[in-house]
Amino acid sequence: MKVLMVEDDAQIVDSVAWAFRMRWPDVEFLSTDSGTQAVSQARDLKPDLVILDLGLPDISGFEVLKGIRQFANYPIIILTARKDEFDIVKALEAGADDYLVKPFRQMELLSRIKALLRRSATPAPDSTLAAGELRLSPSTGILHYHNREIPLTRTEEIIMSKLIQHPGAVVTYAALAEALWNDFYPDCVAALRVYIRQLRQKIEADVDNPKIILNKHGVGYMLATPQE
Protein backbone atom coordinates (compact mmCIF):
# COMPACT_ATOMS: atom_id res chain seq x y z
CA MET A 1 0.00 0.00 0.00
CA LYS A 2 1.20 3.50 -0.86
CA VAL A 3 0.11 6.40 1.39
CA LEU A 4 0.67 10.11 0.86
CA MET A 5 0.35 12.37 3.91
CA VAL A 6 0.09 16.13 3.43
CA GLU A 7 0.96 17.70 6.77
CA ASP A 8 3.29 20.44 8.00
CA ASP A 9 3.67 19.16 11.58
CA ALA A 10 6.64 16.81 11.59
CA GLN A 11 5.66 15.21 14.91
CA ILE A 12 2.25 14.24 13.56
CA VAL A 13 3.81 12.85 10.38
CA ASP A 14 6.23 10.73 12.42
CA SER A 15 3.44 9.51 14.70
CA VAL A 16 1.17 8.49 11.82
CA ALA A 17 4.04 6.92 9.87
CA TRP A 18 4.96 4.82 12.91
CA ALA A 19 1.34 3.71 13.39
CA PHE A 20 1.12 2.68 9.75
CA ARG A 21 4.31 0.66 9.91
CA MET A 22 3.07 -1.14 13.01
CA ARG A 23 -0.26 -1.97 11.36
CA TRP A 24 0.93 -2.42 7.75
CA PRO A 25 4.71 -3.14 7.77
CA ASP A 26 4.98 -3.10 3.99
CA VAL A 27 3.37 0.31 3.55
CA GLU A 28 5.20 2.88 1.43
CA PHE A 29 4.64 6.05 3.46
CA LEU A 30 5.31 9.37 1.73
CA SER A 31 4.82 12.87 3.09
CA THR A 32 5.05 16.51 2.12
CA ASP A 33 4.26 19.81 3.82
CA SER A 34 3.56 21.54 0.50
CA GLY A 35 0.08 21.58 -0.95
CA THR A 36 1.37 22.35 -4.42
CA GLN A 37 3.83 19.47 -4.27
CA ALA A 38 1.10 17.20 -2.90
CA VAL A 39 -1.03 17.62 -6.02
CA SER A 40 1.95 16.79 -8.25
CA GLN A 41 2.90 13.77 -6.14
CA ALA A 42 -0.68 12.52 -6.08
CA ARG A 43 -0.76 12.69 -9.89
CA ASP A 44 2.63 11.05 -10.42
CA LEU A 45 2.75 8.48 -7.61
CA LYS A 46 -0.93 7.36 -7.64
CA PRO A 47 -1.18 6.56 -3.91
CA ASP A 48 -3.82 4.22 -2.51
CA LEU A 49 -4.74 6.83 0.11
CA VAL A 50 -4.17 10.52 0.84
CA ILE A 51 -4.21 11.93 4.39
CA LEU A 52 -4.68 15.69 4.08
CA ASP A 53 -4.40 18.58 6.52
CA LEU A 54 -6.38 21.72 5.66
CA GLY A 55 -3.91 24.22 7.13
CA LEU A 56 -0.82 24.18 4.92
CA PRO A 57 1.94 26.81 4.54
CA ASP A 58 1.52 27.47 0.82
CA ILE A 59 -2.02 26.76 -0.39
CA SER A 60 -5.24 25.70 1.29
CA GLY A 61 -5.96 22.04 1.84
CA PHE A 62 -9.26 22.67 0.08
CA GLU A 63 -7.33 23.63 -3.06
CA VAL A 64 -5.27 20.44 -2.77
CA LEU A 65 -8.43 18.39 -2.41
CA LYS A 66 -10.07 19.97 -5.45
CA GLY A 67 -6.85 19.65 -7.44
CA ILE A 68 -6.52 15.92 -6.75
CA ARG A 69 -10.19 15.30 -7.49
CA GLN A 70 -9.70 16.68 -11.00
CA PHE A 71 -7.72 13.57 -11.97
CA ALA A 72 -8.16 10.90 -9.29
CA ASN A 73 -10.83 9.22 -7.20
CA TYR A 74 -8.76 7.36 -4.62
CA PRO A 75 -9.68 7.78 -0.94
CA ILE A 76 -8.86 11.05 0.80
CA ILE A 77 -9.26 11.50 4.54
CA ILE A 78 -9.03 14.95 6.09
CA LEU A 79 -6.99 15.12 9.31
CA THR A 80 -7.17 18.63 10.71
CA ALA A 81 -7.65 20.79 13.79
CA ARG A 82 -10.60 22.52 12.13
CA LYS A 83 -13.78 21.18 13.73
CA ASP A 84 -16.30 23.75 12.52
CA GLU A 85 -19.18 22.07 10.71
CA PHE A 86 -18.81 24.54 7.82
CA ASP A 87 -15.28 23.25 7.14
CA ILE A 88 -16.42 19.63 7.38
CA VAL A 89 -19.26 20.20 4.92
CA LYS A 90 -16.99 22.15 2.58
CA ALA A 91 -14.41 19.35 2.58
CA LEU A 92 -16.99 16.65 1.92
CA GLU A 93 -18.54 18.69 -0.88
CA ALA A 94 -15.08 19.09 -2.42
CA GLY A 95 -14.60 15.33 -2.51
CA ALA A 96 -13.21 14.16 0.83
CA ASP A 97 -14.24 10.66 1.87
CA ASP A 98 -13.86 11.12 5.63
CA TYR A 99 -12.95 13.79 8.17
CA LEU A 100 -11.11 13.35 11.48
CA VAL A 101 -10.41 16.18 13.91
CA LYS A 102 -7.14 16.66 15.82
CA PRO A 103 -6.22 15.67 18.45
CA PHE A 104 -6.92 12.13 17.32
CA ARG A 105 -6.26 8.60 18.51
CA GLN A 106 -3.96 6.55 16.32
CA MET A 107 -6.15 3.46 16.52
CA GLU A 108 -9.21 5.44 15.47
CA LEU A 109 -7.35 6.88 12.49
CA LEU A 110 -6.19 3.41 11.41
CA SER A 111 -9.67 1.95 11.86
CA ARG A 112 -11.21 4.75 9.82
CA ILE A 113 -8.62 4.23 7.09
CA LYS A 114 -9.12 0.46 7.08
CA ALA A 115 -12.88 0.94 6.67
CA LEU A 116 -12.35 3.57 3.99
CA LEU A 117 -10.07 1.29 1.97
CA ARG A 118 -12.54 -1.56 2.38
CA ARG A 119 -15.42 0.60 1.11
CA SER A 120 -13.36 1.69 -1.88
CA ALA A 121 -12.26 -1.84 -2.78
CA THR A 122 -15.56 -3.64 -2.20
CA PRO A 123 -17.89 -3.51 -5.22
CA ALA A 124 -21.42 -2.45 -4.44
CA PRO A 125 -24.22 -4.98 -5.04
CA ASP A 126 -26.03 -4.88 -8.38
CA SER A 127 -29.59 -5.19 -7.06
CA THR A 128 -31.69 -2.03 -6.86
CA LEU A 129 -33.07 -1.00 -3.46
CA ALA A 130 -36.44 0.75 -3.33
CA ALA A 131 -38.72 2.45 -0.81
CA GLY A 132 -41.64 4.52 -2.06
CA GLU A 133 -40.41 6.83 -4.80
CA LEU A 134 -36.78 6.28 -3.84
CA ARG A 135 -34.74 3.80 -5.86
CA LEU A 136 -31.06 3.28 -5.24
CA SER A 137 -28.65 1.52 -7.60
CA PRO A 138 -25.69 0.62 -5.35
CA SER A 139 -23.55 -0.50 -8.29
CA THR A 140 -23.65 3.00 -9.79
CA GLY A 141 -24.26 5.10 -6.67
CA ILE A 142 -27.25 6.73 -8.34
CA LEU A 143 -30.38 7.54 -6.35
CA HIS A 144 -33.54 7.91 -8.44
CA TYR A 145 -36.23 10.18 -7.03
CA HIS A 146 -39.10 11.88 -8.90
CA ASN A 147 -37.48 11.45 -12.32
CA ARG A 148 -34.17 12.78 -11.03
CA GLU A 149 -30.85 10.95 -11.00
CA ILE A 150 -28.90 11.97 -7.90
CA PRO A 151 -25.25 10.86 -7.70
CA LEU A 152 -24.16 9.76 -4.23
CA THR A 153 -20.71 9.32 -2.77
CA ARG A 154 -19.83 5.83 -1.56
CA THR A 155 -20.40 6.95 2.04
CA GLU A 156 -23.78 8.47 1.20
CA GLU A 157 -24.75 5.33 -0.71
CA ILE A 158 -23.98 3.11 2.30
CA ILE A 159 -26.07 5.30 4.61
CA MET A 160 -28.95 5.49 2.14
CA SER A 161 -28.86 1.72 1.64
CA LYS A 162 -29.32 1.16 5.36
CA LEU A 163 -32.23 3.60 5.50
CA ILE A 164 -33.99 2.21 2.42
CA GLN A 165 -33.67 -1.32 3.75
CA HIS A 166 -35.55 -0.29 6.90
CA PRO A 167 -38.21 2.26 5.84
CA GLY A 168 -40.25 3.59 8.73
CA ALA A 169 -37.84 2.16 11.30
CA VAL A 170 -35.06 3.94 13.13
CA VAL A 171 -31.54 2.96 12.06
CA THR A 172 -29.37 3.65 15.08
CA TYR A 173 -26.20 5.70 15.11
CA ALA A 174 -24.35 2.53 16.11
CA ALA A 175 -25.71 0.59 13.12
CA LEU A 176 -24.71 3.33 10.70
CA ALA A 177 -21.26 3.67 12.28
CA GLU A 178 -20.76 -0.09 12.06
CA ALA A 179 -21.67 -0.03 8.35
CA LEU A 180 -19.24 2.80 7.65
CA TRP A 181 -16.34 2.28 10.07
CA ASN A 182 -16.83 -1.16 11.67
CA ASP A 183 -16.98 0.57 15.04
CA PHE A 184 -18.69 3.29 17.07
CA TYR A 185 -16.51 6.28 17.92
CA PRO A 186 -17.21 9.14 20.34
CA ASP A 187 -17.38 11.68 17.52
CA CYS A 188 -19.14 9.51 14.95
CA VAL A 189 -22.57 11.03 15.66
CA ALA A 190 -21.23 14.45 14.64
CA ALA A 191 -19.77 12.93 11.47
CA LEU A 192 -23.04 11.17 10.67
CA ARG A 193 -24.89 14.46 11.12
CA VAL A 194 -22.76 16.02 8.39
CA TYR A 195 -23.29 13.10 5.98
CA ILE A 196 -27.05 13.16 6.63
CA ARG A 197 -27.14 16.89 5.91
CA GLN A 198 -25.33 16.22 2.63
CA LEU A 199 -27.97 13.66 1.70
CA ARG A 200 -30.76 16.01 2.67
CA GLN A 201 -29.31 18.75 0.50
CA LYS A 202 -29.57 16.37 -2.43
CA ILE A 203 -33.12 15.12 -1.90
CA GLU A 204 -35.08 17.34 0.50
CA ALA A 205 -37.10 20.35 -0.65
CA ASP A 206 -36.20 22.11 2.61
CA VAL A 207 -33.02 20.92 4.32
CA ASP A 208 -33.98 22.58 7.61
CA ASN A 209 -37.44 21.00 7.57
CA PRO A 210 -36.79 17.46 6.31
CA LYS A 211 -39.67 15.22 5.29
CA ILE A 212 -37.75 12.20 3.99
CA ILE A 213 -34.79 11.55 6.31
CA LEU A 214 -35.97 12.11 9.87
CA ASN A 215 -33.95 12.27 13.07
CA LYS A 216 -34.83 10.34 16.22
CA HIS A 217 -32.94 12.44 18.73
CA GLY A 218 -30.35 10.48 20.64
CA VAL A 219 -31.06 7.27 18.72
CA GLY A 220 -30.52 7.55 14.96
CA TYR A 221 -32.25 8.31 11.64
CA MET A 222 -35.36 7.04 9.91
CA LEU A 223 -36.57 7.05 6.32
CA ALA A 224 -40.14 8.32 5.99
CA THR A 225 -41.23 6.90 2.64
CA PRO A 226 -41.98 9.92 0.41
CA GLN A 227 -45.20 10.22 -1.51
CA GLU A 228 -45.64 11.64 -4.99
Say if residue 140 is in the same domain as residue 116.
no
- pLDDT score recorded for residue 221: 97
* Among candidate residues 121, 153, 182, the one where a domain is terminated: 121
Average pLDDT over residues 128-133: 90
Which of 113-117, 122-126, 187-191 has the highest mean predicted lDDT (pLDDT)? 113-117
Average pLDDT over residues 190-216: 91
When the pLDDT of each residue in the chain is averaged and rounded to a whole number, the result is 88
Instruction: With a cut of 60, say whether residue 159 has pLDDT above it.
Output: yes
Say if residue 60 is in the same domain as residue 31.
yes
Check: pTM over 0.75? Answer yes or no: no
The tally of domains found in the chain comes to 2
- Look at residues 198, 174, 200, 169 and name the one whose alpha carbon lies nearest to residue 188: 174
Q: Residue 228 domain-assigned?
A: no
* Among candidate residues 121, 139, 162, the one where a domain is terminated: 121
CA–CA separation, 188 vs 99, rounded Å? 10
Summarised one tens digit per residue, pLDDT across range 52-108 is 999 999 999 999 999 999 998 888 999 988 888 788 878 887 888 888 888 888 888
- Look at residues 149, 139, 162 and name the one whose alpha carbon lies nearest to residue 221: 162
Instruction: Place 228 in a pLDDT band, splitting at 50, 70 and 90.
Output: very low
Burial 87-110 (b: 16+ CB within 10 A, else e): bbbebbebbbbbbbbeebeeebbb
114 touches 47 (CB < 8 A)? no
Instruction: Place 225 in a pLDDT band, splitting at 50, 70 and 90.
Output: low
Say if residue 165 is in the same domain as residue 75.
no
Q: 17-21, 37-41, 123-127, 204-208: lowest mean pLDDT where?
A: 123-127
Q: Which domain holds residue 59?
A: 2-121
Q: What is the percentage of the chain residues whose pLDDT exceeds 90?
A: 54
- pLDDT score recorded for residue 79: 92
